[in-house]
Amino acid sequence: MAVENAKEFLQEKLDKDNFSKLSAIANDKLYQFIADAVELTKPAKVFVSTDKPEDIEYTRKQSVATGEEKPLKIKGHTIHFDGMEDQGRDREVTKYLVPQNETLSKALNQIEREQGLKEVRGLLAGAMQGRIMVVRFMTLGPNNSEFSIPCVECTDSFYVSHSMNLLYRLGYEEFKRLGAKAKFFATLHSCGKMSDRMVSVESDKKRIYIDYTTDSVYAVNTQYGGNTIGLKKLALRLTIRKADREGWLAEHMFLAGIYGKGGRKTYLAGAFPSACGKTSTAMLPGETILGDDIAYFRNVDGKCKAVNAEFGIFGIIQNVTEKDDPAIWDMLTKPGEVIFSNVLIKDGKPYWLGMGIDIPADGENYSGQWTKGKKDAKGNEIPCAHKNARYAVALDALKNCDPELDNPKGVDLAGIMYGGRDAKSYVPCQQGFNWEHGIVAYGASLETETTFATIGKEGVPEINLMSIQDFVAISLGKYVKNNLDFGKKFKNPPLVFGVNYFLRDQDGKFVNGVRDKHVWVKWMELRIHGEADAVAAPTGLIPKFEDLKKLFKEVLKKDYTQANYVNQFTIRVKENLDKIDRVEKFHREHVAEAPAEVFKVLAAQKKRLEEAGKKYGDFISPFDLDKK
């Protein structure tokens, strides 16, 4: 809310040094936001962080001094715990503030704007009394680039501030450069009441509200990074609206550089819901990682250019092993700046689920002092670490960090993949017949099961359109149309692929090995360069057996049999027809302004499946489709 004479108000409230740092940015809208945050939350002190090493070091030290983090045995490693009820993105209390005369998709949580502002600001009132408010300036996308978006966050959590050091690019100098021209996103966050363990305790009063009319986010009574680091998925919601206005795309995708013949490097993007293989695909051994979560795409001189919105990884640590994730494992077990969250700590060492080594029977975790068999208030056994336990690290700490990470011009994007948890229908890897088919059949049809990364019941099948559904603050139909239209801007748009690491056979066993994904990605690289053939299946173009046999030997040093191929690439007609029915129903019921192209593509796929089913039966061997 408006504070009269905001700059003068801040001069009264801030000490001379911090006011000097703030006043070096000539932006009245910024002064107004920070003045309102100070007046509302009433902190004891305000610390304005610049890009200088001493300011960054202050946040790092304070995160430990306040008790929000504790040092671990390996130099630079710390542990942070969130509360028992604050272990993931909370869909129920994350809402859009929608003015009375507007509506968003029924699939999105929303509340009338004035009502929501009154509620969340009431919870934030006086929330920082006795604490330090940290003012952080960061950017989404590389600095000094047409891709970059300046962002400011006011928080009373040094853990949140420390996380931003690792996950985003410092933006104080960018704000100074832009001055009054800076059109920024703003976040106000408070942990609320905290326990002796420095954990938010009033989870029943947790609120994360997004005001897209002012590009602002409010978060209170939570510490979990996905709810509090405003530049993560909260800002993605705002970025999607900005991209919609300006004709580009903001996507929930990783970016990776995949090597091919003669040392060439090809950039691919991928959208996967949480815990569906996104980070592990972005981190394939021997390739490079440009980003693991959020990417921006623009048409630059007729080329599809992409950048990573972020600078670090806030990654799920469950099932990270030395064998399957060597690059991540190396980073997590050597000196360097890493923040672990919600893992088990014993003698200064972190342990997580699926680590591949023996786990101690006691230690400290997110529940407090833990021993095997400990139960929560509902009588459920508490695991040693949470399924959604995380690590935060800067990308340049990884040996395989792509050198183009900070390139303000971005990289050429050649391929896009979509993947979810689909136990019954889609094959492990396939290519769209064209841009429209790929966007609809793999992106707008992306089906998955709910996982531990979002609070609520796990294992529930749902459509998660483009793996971005929760974050789309425009109509879902408009978002799909923007994707369809974007590809039409290019003479040769990126190829679109569908992947599915979670297909099961008739006995319920996964048909994919954990590392098979590397083969699928190498096949995509060959397809992009016209160096691999494909078989036309009803649902897309699938790999030929001979190419996979060669790739499995080259990439994984494994023999690949005809039986493997049949098990993985048999087309299940009934299951795929059922999938189309679910997808069509979802789009008719939940997607306002659903483009006609969606139903056209789905109808054509349905027809191909029905005709193939009549010819070959309910289970179609890929060898039948490959007959000359």
- Helix (H, G, I), strand (E, B), or coil: what is residue 226? helix
Closest CA to 607 of 599, 496, 541: 599
Let me know: does 385 contact 452? Beta carbons within 8 Å. Answer: no
Which secondary structure element, helix H or strand E, spans residue 604, and what is its range?
A: helix 596-616
Q: How far apart are CA 46 and CA 10, in angstroms?
A: 10
Query: For the chain, percent helix, then strand, then coil, each to nearest 5?
Result: 35, 25, 40
Let me know: does 221 contact 207? Beta carbons within 8 Å. Answer: yes
Closest CA to 413 of 421, 404, 426, 401: 404
Q: Which of 151, 154, 276, 429 is catalytic?
A: 276
Q: How far apart are CA 216 and CA 218, in angstroms?
A: 7
- Give the position of tokens 């006795």: 130
- What pairing do the DSSP bridges indicate for beta strands 303-308 and 411-419? antiparallel
- Give the position of tokens 């008739």: 506
Let me know: does 505 contact 240? Beta carbons within 8 Å. Answer: no
Let me know: does 396 contact 403? Beta carbons within 8 Å. Answer: no
Q: How far apart are CA 226 and CA 293, in angstroms?
A: 12
Q: How far apart are the first and last CA of the chain?
A: 70
Q: Going along 236-294, which residue ranges are E strands?
A: 249-251, 254-259, 265-271, 288-291
Task: Extract long-range pairs of 195-201: CB within 8 Å, 24+ residues apart.
Answer: 195/83, 197/67, 197/81, 197/368, 198/66, 198/67, 198/68, 199/81, 199/82, 199/83, 199/86, 199/223, 200/82, 200/83, 200/86, 201/83
Q: How far apart are CA 18 and CA 23, in angstroms?
A: 9
276 labelled catalytic: yes
HSE (CB half, 13 Å, CA atoms) of 102?
A: 16
Q: How far apart are CA 536 and CA 433, in angstroms?
A: 9
Q: Which residues contact 130 (CB under 8 A, 6 or more apart)?
A: 44
Q: Which residues are the active-site residues?
A: 276
